[in-house]
Structure 1
Amino acid sequence: MRMKPRRSFLTVTPNTHRGHRFAAVQRLIGVLLMIFSLTMLPPAGVSMFYGDSALDAFMLGFVTTLAIGCVVWIPVRRNRADLKIRDGFLVVALFWTVLGVAGALPFWFPTTPRMTFSQAVFESISGLTTTGATVLTGIDILPRSILYYRQQLQWLGGGGIIVLAVAILPLLGVGGMQLLRAETPGPVKDTKMTPRIKETARALWTIYLGLTIACTAAYWAAGMSLFDAIGHAFSTVSTGGFSTHDRSFGYFDNHLLETISVVFMLLAAINFSLHFVSWRDRSLRIYLADPESRMFLLIALILSVLIAVALLIAGRYVMPLQAFAKSAFQVVSIMTSTGFTTADYTIWPSFVPVLLVLSSFIGGCASSTAGGMKVIRVMLLFKQGMREVYQLVHPSAELPVKLGRKVVPPRVLQAVWSFISAYMGFYVIMLLLLLAAGMDEVSAFAAVAACINNLGPGLGEVSANFATIDSFSLWVCSFAMLLGRLEIFAFLVLLTPAFWRR
Structure 2
Amino acid sequence: MHFRLTLRVLGLLLMLFSFTQLPPLAISVYYDDSARFAFMASFFILLCIGFAIWVPVYRVKGELRVRDGFLITVLFWSVLGLFGATPLYLAPEPQMSFVDAVFESISGLSTTGATVITGLDHLPKSILFYRQQLQWLGGMGIIVLAVAILPMLGIGGMQLYRAEIPGPVKDTKLTPRITETAKALWYIYAALTLLCALAYWLAGMTPFDAIGHSFSTVAIGGFSTYDDSIGYFNNPMIELIGITFMIISAMNFALHFFAWRQRSLLHYLKDPEVRFFLSILMITFVITLAVLIIHQTYDSVDALRRAAFMTVSIATTAGFSNGEFANWPVMLPFMLFITAFIGGCVGSTGGGMKVIRILLILKQGYRELQRLVHPNAVFPVKLGNRTIPDNVLQAVWGFFSVYLLVFVIMLIALMGTGLDQVTAWSAVGATITNLGPGLGDVASNFGDINSTAKWILCFSMLLGRLEVFTLLVLFTPVFWRR
**TM-score, normalised by the number of residues in structure 2:** 0.95
Measured in 2, the distance between the counterparts of 1:47 and 1:184 equals: 41
Listed as ranges, the matches of 1:178-217 within 5 Å are 181-182=152-153, 187-188=158-159, 190-191=162-163, 192-195=165-168, 196-217=177-198
Q: Is this contact kept in 2: 1:40–1:61, CA < 8 A?
A: yes
Measured in 2, the distance between the counterparts of 1:52 and 1:160 equals: 30
The match for 1:93 is: 74
Q: Is structure 2 residue 89 aligned with structure 1 residue 108? A: yes
SS in 2 for 1:92: helix
Structure 2: which amino acid aligns with 1:459?
A: L
Q: Is structure 2 residue 403 aligned with structure 1 residue 423? A: yes
Structure 2: which amino acid aligns with 1:360?
A: A
Q: Is structure 2 residue 229 aligned with structure 1 residue 248? A: yes
The match for 2:441 is: 461
Structure 1 residue 322: Cα displacement? 3.1
Measured in 2, the distance between the counterparts of 1:180 and 1:400 equals: 22
Structure 2: which amino acid aligns with 1:194?
A: G
Structure 1 residue 218: Cα displacement? 0.3
Structure 1 residue 498: Cα displacement? 2.2
4+ residue runs of structure 1 moved beyond 4 angstroms?
176-180, 182-186
Measured against aligned partners, the alpha-carbon deviations of 1:258-311 in whole angstroms (never above 9, x if no partner) come to: 001000000000000111111211111111000000110110010000010000
Q: Is structure 2 residue 318 aligned with structure 1 residue 347? A: no
Structure 1 residue 469: Cα displacement? 1.1
Measured in 1, the distance between the counterparts of 2:376 and 2:223 equals: 53
Measured in 1, the distance between the counterparts of 2:416 and 2:470 equals: 27
Listed as ranges, the matches of 1:393-404 within 5 Å are 393-404=373-384
Measured in 2, the distance between the counterparts of 1:226 and 1:148 equals: 12
The match for 1:267 is: 248
Structure 2: which amino acid aligns with 1:190?
A: R
Measured in 2, the distance between the counterparts of 1:390 and 1:28 equals: 50
Structure 1 residue 343: Cα displacement? 0.6
SS in 1 for 2:323: coil
Structure 1 residue 162: Cα displacement? 8.7
Measured in 1, the distance between the counterparts of 2:451 and 2:96 equals: 11
- Candidates 55, 58, 70, aligned match of 2:36: 55
Measured in 2, the distance between the counterparts of 1:70 and 1:110 equals: 24
Distance of aligned partners of 1:207 and 1:350 in 2 relative to their CA distance in 1, 3 Å threshold = same
Measured in 2, the distance between the counterparts of 1:72 and 1:350 equals: 54
The match for 1:129 is: 110
The match for 2:352 is: 372
Structure 1 residue 129: Cα displacement? 0.2
Q: Is this contact kept in 2: 1:231–1:244, CA < 8 A?
A: yes
Structure 1 residue 495: Cα displacement? 2.1
Structure 1 residue 499: Cα displacement? 1.5
Measured against aligned partners, the alpha-carbon deviations of 1:81-133 in whole angstroms (never above 9, x if no partner) come to: 33211110001111111001110001000111000100000000000000000
Measured against aligned partners, the alpha-carbon deviations of 1:215-270 in whole angstroms (never above 9, x if no partner) come to: 00000000000000000000000000000000000000000110010000000000
Structure 1 residue 493: Cα displacement? 1.8
Larger radius of gyration, structure 1 or 2? 1
Distance of aligned partners of 1:186 and 1:129 in 2 relative to their CA distance in 1, 3 Å threshold = farther
Structure 1 residue 184: Cα displacement? 8.9
Structure 1 residue 183: Cα displacement? 10
- Candidates 425, 442, 448, aligned match of 2:428: 448
SS in 1 for 2:461: helix
Measured in 1, the distance between the counterparts of 2:63 and 2:8 equals: 12
Which moved further from structure 2: 126-135 or 63-72?
A: 63-72
Measured against aligned partners, the alpha-carbon deviations of 1:435-459 in whole angstroms (never above 9, x if no partner) come to: 0100011111110000000000000
Measured in 1, the distance between the counterparts of 2:13 and 2:444 equals: 33
Q: Is this contact kept in 2: 1:237–1:265, CA < 8 A?
A: yes
**Number of equivalences:** 472
Q: Is structure 2 residue 443 aligned with structure 1 residue 471? A: no
Structure 1 residue 197: Cα displacement? 1.8
Which moved further from structure 2: 310-319 or 101-110?
A: 310-319
SS in 2 for 1:366: coil
SS in 1 for 2:366: helix
Q: Is this contact kept in 2: 1:162–1:179, CA < 8 A?
A: no
Q: Is this contact kept in 2: 1:92–1:182, CA < 8 A?
A: no
Give RMSD over aligned pairs.
Answer: 1.8
The match for 2:339 is: 359
Measured in 2, the distance between the counterparts of 1:477 and 1:402 equals: 37
The match for 2:267 is: 286
Structure 1 residue 185: Cα displacement? 9.3
Aligned-residue sequence identity (percent) comes to 54
Q: Which runs of 5+ in 1 are unaligned?
A: 1-17, 167-175
SS in 1 for 2:298: coil
Q: Is this contact kept in 2: 1:184–1:367, CA < 8 A?
A: no
SS in 2 for 1:324: helix
Q: Is this contact kept in 2: 1:186–1:366, CA < 8 A?
A: no
The match for 1:139 is: 120
The match for 1:32 is: 13
Q: Is this contact kept in 2: 1:308–1:327, CA < 8 A?
A: yes
SS in 2 for 1:466: coil
Q: Is this contact kept in 2: 1:86–1:178, CA < 8 A?
A: no
Measured in 1, the distance between the counterparts of 2:157 and 2:58 equals: 34
SS in 1 for 2:226: coil
Distance of aligned partners of 1:378 and 1:122 in 2 relative to their CA distance in 1, 3 Å threshold = same
Measured in 2, the distance between the counterparts of 1:52 and 1:486 equals: 35
Structure 1 residue 177: Cα displacement? 6.6
Structure 1 residue 179: Cα displacement? 7.8
Structure 1 residue 181: Cα displacement? 3.8
Distance of aligned partners of 1:38 and 1:185 in 2 relative to their CA distance in 1, 3 Å threshold = farther
**TM-score, normalised by the number of residues in structure 1:** 0.91
SS in 2 for 1:160: helix
